[in-house]
A and B are shown apart, each in its own frame.
Chain A
């Protein structure tokens, strides 16, 4: 398999906005959020890589970095072997036809004054692909493929005139219209209703094989990740703590955080109720994260070394990596 995307030592820090009073009290010490803290991974062509973890762990930031919607503080991003962090604006524009993003909330990512047809055609206009008749033909045929039918009828509708499930399909169609290779899907089903989620998941699976797509699928729901992804990376406070194939990660989780997350996933089956109590405590602040392994304050296996050493992400079995001092 060919490598499509590769991130090396990717880091993103955001400055912390402080009020005048805070500055007076705390002095002018510059503080940053380590949203993404030196992570490396790759995605093979045709693969679905899942990015899982709790709120604030840096999933969306990672996704935005890959598309250079935000600039990394340091690190490189290779797309088919070429470093896109040094691409010119024009080169980036051309690349954006091939890589796309789908966000969580279809309503806020659709312009209420743009009809369904115009919204899906919009990227074609930006990238100057086809004349207006050709564009309409492309839009209608794609609408059929994503289940926006009858396409003729829905083409003229506005966002408030269609259902939530249909809105999410419009967002997907808009991402697919330029025939991209790679899609970052940032919690595409989080806001949707249960039955709509299933439809969108099935649709994403179908489109993937039909259009030969590669996904970075961001989700905080491990059950969904297991259903859709080939490989999964688990993030905690800006770092990848474990990464491995779907079977490896779910059958042989290594990192105590991954285990805690897996324990906590509610099972839609009363015969499989959880009996053990979950780990206590909540995700600490990303501004002053705990030193050493970020997870040590919540970890029942922590030893004193965990408080001072950042555990490297290393291979435990082929292609299964974990960042815990206690590994191996």
Chain B
């Protein structure tokens, strides 16, 4: 699991708009290892999708990557030519988005969508072989083969979601980036999706980046988790560290504000206030105005993401001097 398959280095992304510049991603660095499931969590507007899209240089205009590198197997994706990226996009890194109805073409039967994907990368593959490959993928996803000959609207939401994954997997990628893949699904279908991802990981040694605001979902899959707030990663660690020993006050608040069905909670932790305006944000920590532990320095200087212990990193001035989180004493 030590082999780094993807490295995001000091990435910053901006959206210039009429009233100023949205600093959607600020100085983010993050590694993905082979066979690892990495969760990227945070609330609406914190920059998760922008970061996910940037990995394949797909940030939508007017968005611009203003600095940083994305290194995939030793090469910087951001300095590649479009043709090279297109090849990686199909064959090595797959993306699965939130709404499968808008990502599947409603006018074409499922078989045609598989054929086009395969022939785009391997124009010489006979149709019969390509279809056989599609059928095998459907088997692995637990969908009857006859569904291949139906249109997207004839399938349930859960099936469409799995077809999307199937289309992503058909070229045997080594990374799959899933952005809110279960948002429109019911819990039982969602749980089936979790089972599927875990199976695929074991079978294909797939690396996964799971982007979501669902803290239950990441807890079920992720080995490591990065927490984003206001365009920056505020904490990164193993799932165990994030849920049981968080360092950043935002992580602590986020983890403890969700109802847990296995617990008898009397009260949820609440975090009053709103996320920061990313248009010309103030210079300090972006959580400063909601943080119960705010200090003078937090308002003046942007905290860098630093290692603390056993690979756990946090971007918080609290740990400049002390070791333990304030809620631990």
Contact = CB atoms under 8 A, between A and B. Distances in A.
Given A163-B274, A269-B219, A282-B158, A226 B259 contact: yes
Contacts of B219: 266-270, 272-273
B194 A266 contact: yes
A195 interface: yes
Contacts of A224: 259
B215 to A, nearest CB: 4
A269 B255 CA distance: 9
Question: Is the interface on chain B under 10, 10 to 19, 20 to 34, or 35 or more residues?
Answer: 35 or more
Contacts of B43: 193-195
Nearest to B273: A195
B274 A264 contact: no
The interface residues of chain A, by DSSP majority, are classed as helix
Interface in B145-202: 156, 158-159, 186-192, 194-195
B141 to A, nearest CB: 12
> Taking each of A198, A267, A270, which has the highest tally of chain B beta carbons within 10 Å of its own beta carbon?
A270
Given A165-B274, A264-B188, A269 B262 contact: yes
B274 A267 contact: no
> Taking each of B187, B191, B213, which has the highest tally of chain A beta carbons within 10 Å of its own beta carbon?
B187
B253 interface: yes
Interface stretch (B83-91, B263-271, B294-302): B263-271
Interface of A: 54-55, 163-165, 193-195, 197-199, 201-202, 220-224, 226-227, 250, 260-274, 277-280, 282-283
Nearest to A147: B272
Given A199-B272, A220-B186, A264 B258 contact: no
A282 B161 CA distance: 13
Interface string B39-72: 0000110000000000000000000000000000
Interface stretch (B20-28, B106-114, B237-245): B237-245
A202 B187 contact: no
A266 B243 contact: no
B262 A220 contact: no
Nearest to B187: A264
Given A195-B253, A222-B261, A226-B261, 11 more contacts: A193-B213, A194-B258, A197-B257, A197-B258, A199-B271, A220-B187, A250-B261, A264-B187, A264-B191, A269-B260, A278-B191
A198 B269 contact: yes
Contacts of B222: 270
Contacts of B186: 54-55, 220, 282-283
Contacts of A267: 216, 219-220, 260-262
Interface of B: 43-44, 142, 156, 158-159, 186-192, 194-195, 213-217, 219-220, 222, 239-240, 243-244, 253-255, 257-262, 265, 267-272, 274
A-B CB proximity, top 7 nearest: A266-B216, A198-B257, A264-B191, A270-B239, A223-B261, A227-B259, A278-B191
Contacts of B192: 277-278, 280
Contacts of B187: 54, 220-222, 261, 264-266
Contacts of A194: 43, 213, 215, 254, 257-258
28 contacts: A54-B187, A164-B44, A195-B257, A197-B258, A199-B270, A199-B272, A202-B268, A202-B270, A220-B186, A221-B259, A223-B258, A223-B259, A224-B259, A226-B261, A227-B259, A264-B188, A267-B216, A267-B219, A269-B219, A270-B220, A272-B262, A274-B220, A278-B192, A278-B195, A280-B192, A282-B159, A282-B188, A283-B186
